[in-house]
């Protein structure tokens, strides 16, 4: 016998705060247990996009910036928000150009619709490995970002992920997923060869 999962029932909803990036919504609900419950949700106006760029020597680029919510500096893969009016790939291509001044000949999706903090936000992440890199200045840098770019080997980026030097969830998942795909032989041959360099 299969149990049918119970769902949340929304009795009312209101937007408490909104700007061009987020909307904070408050819901009066009935929980799957049948109890009345108040629920707060941070709705993301854009989807979350990340890129694992791999150059011709098997190195990747990490982007460093001061992250406001935690008040600390963070090294991450190139990432940002992409409009729902464009495809995730188009948004990822823009992020790579904007943050690293690069474009890529090859793109491999490795994450799709990943829930980054599903107890409080509806943010979904998409990730790509990009290789065949060349310079590109199609998109200007965001005026609110003071970015540093650091080139490291793929192995060094993995070490940073495992050691806790990289703490950004999307970067961690992308690096570990790429490593898994490499170890299981699931990457295109040319890309696998670069990552093993």
Query: What CATH number did the domain enclosing 104 receive?
Result: 3.90.79.10
Domain membership flag for residue 92: yes
Domain membership flag for residue 140: yes
Domain, as residue range, for 28: 9-44
Map 129-155 to HEC letters: EEEEEEECCCCCCCCCCCCEEEEEEHH
Number of domains in the chain: 2
Residue 73 shares a structural domain with residue 19: no
Sheet containing 148-153, strands listed edge to edge, beginning at the edge strand earlier in sequence: 72-76, 59-67, 148-153
Domain membership flag for residue 2: no
pTM of the model: 0.93
Domain membership flag for residue 69: yes
DSSP for residue 121:
B
What is the chain's pLDDT, residue by residue, as a tens digit (197 residues)? 567 889 999 999 999 999 999 999 999 999 999 999 999 999 999 999 999 999 999 999 999 999 999 999 999 999 999 999 999 999 999 999 999 999 999 999 999 999 999 999 999 999 999 999 999 988 877 776 789 999 999 999 999 999 999 999 999 999 999 999 999 999 999 999 999 97
Domain membership flag for residue 147: yes
Domain membership flag for residue 121: no
Residue 72 shares a structural domain with residue 166: yes
Residue 16 shares a structural domain with residue 52: no
């Amino acid at each position: 016998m299969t149990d049918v999962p119970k769902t949340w029932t929304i009795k009312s909803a209101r937007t408490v705060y909104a700007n061009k990036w987020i909307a904070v919504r408050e819901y009066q609900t009935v929980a799957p247990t049948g109890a009345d419950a108040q629920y707060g949700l941070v709705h993301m106006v854009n989807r979350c996009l990340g890129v694992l760029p791999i150059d011709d020597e098997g190195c990747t680029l990490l982007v460093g910036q001061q992250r406001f919510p935690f008040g600390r500096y963070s090294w991450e893969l190139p990432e940002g928000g992409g409009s729902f009016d464009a495809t995730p790939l188009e948004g990822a291509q823009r992020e790579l150009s904007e943050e690293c001044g690069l474009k890529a000949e090859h793109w491999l999706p490795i994450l799709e619709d990943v829930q980054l903090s599903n107890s409080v936000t509806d943010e979904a992440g998409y990730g790509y490995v990009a290789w065949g890199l060349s310079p590109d200045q199609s998109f200007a840098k965001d005026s609110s970002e003071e970015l540093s770019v650091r080139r490291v080997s793929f192995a060094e980026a993995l070490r940073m992920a495992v050691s806790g030097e990289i703490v950004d969830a999307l970067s961690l998942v992308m690096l570990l997923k790429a490593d898994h795909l490499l170890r299981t032989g699931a990457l295109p041959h040319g890309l696998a060869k670069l990552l093993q360099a």
